[in-house]
Structure formats: C-alpha cells, structure tokens
Amino acid sequence: MIALAQVAPLTAPPIDYAAIAPLLVVLGGACVSVLFEAFLPRHQRWPAQVALSVLVVAVAGIALGVYAGTAPAAGIVTLATALSVDGPTLFLWGTLLVLGFGSLLLIADRSVEPGGAFLASAVERASVAAAPGTTSGPTGVDPEHVDRSYGAPGEAPTMQTEVFPFVLFALGGMMAFVAANDLLTMFVALEVLSLPLYLVCGLARRRRLLSQEAAVKYFLLGAFASAFFLYGLALLYGYAGSVKLVAIATAAVGTPKSDALLFGGLALLVVGLLFKGSVGPFHTWTPDVYQGAPTPITAFMAACTKVAAFGALLRVLHVAFGSTHWEWRGVMWVVAIASMAIGAVLGLTQTDLKRMIAYSSVAHAGFLLLGVMAITPEGVSSTLFYLLAYGFTTLAVFGVISLVRNADGEATHLSQWAGLAKRSPILAGVMTFLLLGLAGIPLTSGFTAKFAVFSAALGDGMAPLVVIALVFSAVAAFFYLRVIVLMYFSETPEDGPTVTVPGAFTTVAVTLGVVVTLLLGVVPTLVLGWAGAGGLTG
C-alpha cells in the first residue's frame, strides 16, 4: 500500500522531435521497407526498395542538416535522457548516413554481379536458371548472365531484396547506438544493428559456404560479445545504481565503495564494444566475415560498423569513465598495441585481398584507439575525423575489389591482381591511391586523420604509444605496397581476371570515396571544423 501511494503519475517525457528526426526517418523507412517486401509483387521490389532506401537516407540527411544548422552548441538530451544529441552525435549521424548511402549504392548495383550480389539459397537460383522462358535479354546470351531480377511480371527475381530493410534497420541501430546516453539504450541499439548484419552476411551469391560460415561465426561470436556487454552493464548497474552514463561518472567520483564492480563492469562492457569495432585481440571474426560476406556488405560493415562501435566507445569512455582514465588507460594501451601488431603483422601474411583489408581494419582500429584514449576535445574530434576518412576510403576499396572478377565471381586472391595496371590503368590507379590513403601517405585523408589522432594522443601524454603506432604504420604500409607492386610491376597471368565495367551505382560510390579521400587530404579544414564543433553531452 505504501509503495503504491508513492508511485508518481506517469508523464510522457518531452521529446525533441527535430533533434531525433534523422533516426526516426531511418527506422520508419526500414519499417516501410519491410511492408514493401511483404506486399509488392516481386518484380517491383528492386526498383521500389532502391528508391525508398535512397529517399530515406536523403530525407534523414536533410533533416540532420536542418537540425544541425540550429542545434544548440552544447547539445541536448532527449527521450527521458535516453538519447544525447550533441556535436559528436550529429557528426557521427552524418558520417553514418553518407557511408550508408555509399554502401546502399554498392548493394543496389546489379551490373557488376548480374542479378545483384545477394541470394538466400543456391537451389532457387539453379531452378530459376533451368526454368524455361526466363531469358529476357538478347538471344544467344548465357541465361545465367542475364539480369532477371525485374522486368516482366511473373519472372522470379534473383536478387534478395530483403537486404534493403536489413541494412536500413542496421543503419538505424547504429545511429541510436552512437547517440545512446544510457547503457540499456545502447544495448538495445547494439542488437538492432547486429541482428540484420548477421543475416546479410550469409547472402552471398558466390562461394556460399564461405558466406554461411561467416554468418554463423559472426552470429556466435557476436552473441558472446553481446553477453559480455550485458554482463558488464549489470555490474555497472550494481556499482552505480543506474545505467545512465552520467550517473556512473558521478558515482565513480569520491566514493569509498570498492572499484571492483566499476572496473569489472567497464572491462566487460568494453570487450563487447571492441568486438564490434574489430579491435585487437577481439578481432578473430573479422577476416572470416570480411572474406565470406558479400562484398557490398563487407564495405558496409567495414565503414559503418566501425563508426558505430567507436562512436559508442568514445561516449562510454569519455562520458562515463573520463574521470577514471588513469585507471584503465594502461590496459587500453596494451589493447591498442596488440591491435596494431596483430593487424600489421598478420596482414603481411595474407594472400586474399579481402582478408588483407580486414587485418588492415584491425590495425586501423588500433590507431583509432589512440584518439579514443585521449580524454580531450582533440581526442574526440580527431577520432570522429578518422572514422569519416577511414570509412570512405575502405568503402571505395571494397567497391574496387568487387569489380575485379573471373568466372567464379570476385578474384580476390592476390596473385590474380598481378599486372592489373596494364589491362586497367584507371582501376589500378584508383586502387593505388586508396591504398596509399590507407597507408597514411600525405595528401590523402589517411594522413590527415592519422596526424589528428596522433597529435591528440601526444597532447594527452601518450608519446611512446604514438611512436609505436608510427612504427606499425610503416609495417602495415608493406602490405599495401605489395598490392601496388603486384598491380604495376608483375606480369599478367594467362587466365587473369577481367575488370568489369562498373554500373552507375558502383561508379558513384567509388568516385565518392576517392574524391573524399583526396579532399580530406588536401583541404580538410571544413570537416575538421565540423568534427570539432561541440563536445560530448551526458
């Protein structure tokens, strides 16, 4: 009776709809996309889904732009303090939307892989190919290579258009993830972003076993990571009596309580986040999944998942654990060094291009940790800039990889890239530029980003770590260089792969990546300004 009497009447919390409009648009669009999948006839789905996805991302982008123009510099907290819409959130949302747009273009492309890169089951494809009357292209063309996924009604599409709602949901989850102001919201967002990704990993049209293996691995390891995260959340709740990031920070200041729960919780929480960001010793899923997943999805994961994971890590470490950073920084040093070492050294031994880029992403995650660990405004802004720069470069790299193909699909073995410069100088030139960007050569975005992150780290007293990071940058440069050597200085094998002429979508995505990589290397001022506008708000 007493308890009942004390319950205050529930009042709906005030919601700043303008601030969270981009998130609402993306999640709403994802729901509409599911409805499209359920109710549209098959042959209309591909054009409808592509149009819807592009529209959703564009509208979300406009909403974001409109709000960012009038947003309070200090940021706001809305939805009963569940979401924090501050400078970094806006920047990360923008990054996610632009990178998501690029990924959607790669996903939507059906000129490179006839019929699109996605398929739920191999059996269906075989039966469709064998069915009479399915060729709508010119006669004399191998029916397998005719694009049939839309056209006359009654034809079975060969592309799995469910990938669009999945990607939109994942994107929405990522946006909520980086804005989450309490750990419970963060966990829900983590699941929203992860579950669709597990599924789309297994949809590759070619090398299906590899793809399905990747999906299972990613799911199992991802489930473990989620469990770690949840366990950490529980411990932190036990310590602070709240799941809010700010409350944890307040509880950690000047308290006689034992720190065991606090740092135990932090460790488990961070393991979950580092797993998503494919950092250091928690990277084991990365090469397999990057290799097995359909390349457009790999691009999406490499670019956007990284952004989301590091955005959330930034918020957790800076808002909730900023005051205790002397306690955990030593451990994070070890993680960063391990990540750089694993990425750089194991990357050297790879013979598959997608696996190589996966290890490169592990090394980059180590570099990114330097920025995250710097508990200063420069630490935040440099990490944000790095995420944007890395995302665009890696997106374009996977776009290029998807173009080099032989009869079995993508030719990702390194030896197959030998002498590519002779047959396709433009593609080799683009790839060289992007690889130099990943290696961090000046006049590319990679250099500006590394410079920003390393100077932030040095400014916060991590000089030895910066030197270590630079040495590993040199080691990592070797395997980027190896690809360039292969493309330019080696002789072409007899049965070398062909370079597909990219369709409009892939061309736009790759061009976008290359242009941004160049611009952020030469005139990064504007974007650096955005990244530095406003700090994290709890």
Partner 1 sequence: MNTAVMNTAPDTGGNVMLLVLLLLPLLGALLMYPLRTNVPAAKAVAMATALLEFVLVVVTWVGYSTDAASSGERFQYVFSVPWIPAFGTHLAFGIDGIALVLIALTAFLVPGLMLFAWAEKLPEGRTASGYFALLLATQATLMGVFTATDVFLFYVFFEAMLIPMYFLIGRFGGPNRQYASVKFFLYSLLGGLIMLASLIGLYVTSADQLGAGTFTWSDLQSIAQSTPTSTQIWLFLGFFVAFAIKAPLVPFHTWLPDAGAEAPIVAAVLLVGVLDKVGTYGFLRYCLPLFPQASQILAPLVLVLAVIGIIYGALLAVGQKDMSRFVAYTSIAHFGFIALGTFAFSSQAFAGATLYMVNHGLSTGMLFVMVGLLVARGGSRLTRDYGGVSKLAPLLAGCLLLAGMSSLALPGTNSFVSEFLVLVGSFPREPVATIIATVGIIFAALYILWFYQQTMQGPVRGNAVIRALEAGGVGGPGAMIDPAVAAERGSGFPDLTRREIGVLAPLIVVIVVLGFFPGPVLDVVNPSVQSTITEVGLPDPVPAGGVVGGVR
Binding site for partner 1 (CB under 8 A): 422, 436, 439, 441-443, 447-448, 450-452, 454-455, 458-459, 463, 466-467, 470-471, 473-474, 477-478, 481-482, 485, 488-490, 523-525, 528-529, 532
CB of 194 to partner 1, least distance (A): 35
Q: How far apart are CA 499 and CA 488, in angstroms?
A: 15
CB of 489 to partner 1, least distance (A): 5
CB of 458 to partner 1, least distance (A): 5
CB of 451 to partner 1, least distance (A): 7
Q: How far apart are CA 84 and CA 223, in angstroms?
A: 26
CA distances from 445 to 332, 356, 373, 403, 519 (A): 25, 20, 21, 23, 7
* Closer CB to partner 1, 26 or 514, in the complex: 514
* Closer CB to partner 1, 323 or 455, in the complex: 455
* Closer CB to partner 1, 412 or 473, in the complex: 473
CB of 113 to partner 1, least distance (A): 31
CB of 466 to partner 1, least distance (A): 5
CB of 495 to partner 1, least distance (A): 19
* Closer CB to partner 1, 414 or 481, in the complex: 481
* Closer CB to partner 1, 28 or 377, in the complex: 377
Print the SS3 string covering 473-529. Answer: HHHHHHHHHHHHHHHHHCCCCCCCCEECCCCHHHHHHHHHHHHHHHHHHHCCHHHHH
* Closer CB to partner 1, 455 or 511, in the complex: 455
* Closer CB to partner 1, 490 or 511, in the complex: 490
* Closer CB to partner 1, 286 or 381, in the complex: 381
* Closer CB to partner 1, 35 or 474, in the complex: 474
Q: How far apart are CA 402 and CA 502, in angstroms?
A: 9
Q: How far apart are CA 149 and CA 47, in angstroms?
A: 10
470-495 burial, b for 16+ CB within 10 Å, e for fewer?
eebbebbbebbebbbebbbeeeeeee
Report CA torsion sign: 354, 358, 364, 368: positive
Alpha-carbon dihedral 293, 297, 299, 304, rounded to 10 degrees: -120
* Closer CB to partner 1, 34 or 481, in the complex: 481
Tell how far CA 325 is from the center of its chain: 26
CB of 239 to partner 1, least distance (A): 35
From 121, 192, 180, 112, select the one nearest 147 (Cα to Cα). Answer: 112
CB of 84 to partner 1, least distance (A): 24
Say which amino acid occupies 144: E
Own/partner contacts of 408-413, CB < 8 Å, gap of 24 or more, are 408/206, 408/207, 409/113, 409/205, 409/206, 409/207, 410/206, 410/295, 411/496, 411/497, 412/291, 412/352, 412/353, 412/354, 413/351, 413/352, 413/353
Q: Which two tokens stand for residue 259?
A: 């720190």
CB of 371 to partner 1, least distance (A): 13
CB of 386 to partner 1, least distance (A): 14
* Closer CB to partner 1, 139 or 525, in the complex: 525
Strand partners, 85: 76
Q: How far apart are CA 294 and CA 203, in angstroms?
A: 7
Alpha-carbon dihedral 289, 348, 447, 515, rounded to 10 degrees: -50
CB of 366 to partner 1, least distance (A): 15
CA distances from 343 to 222, 278, 365, 367, 472 (A): 20, 10, 9, 10, 9
* Closer CB to partner 1, 21 or 435, in the complex: 435
Report helix, strand or coil for 315. helix
* Closer CB to partner 1, 172 or 446, in the complex: 446
Q: How many CB atoms lie within 10 A of CB 272?
A: 27
Print the SS3 string covering 107-139. Answer: HHCCCCCCCCCECCCHHHHHHHHHCCCCCCCCC
Q: How far apart are CA 90 and CA 76, in angstroms?
A: 11
CB of 184 to partner 1, least distance (A): 36
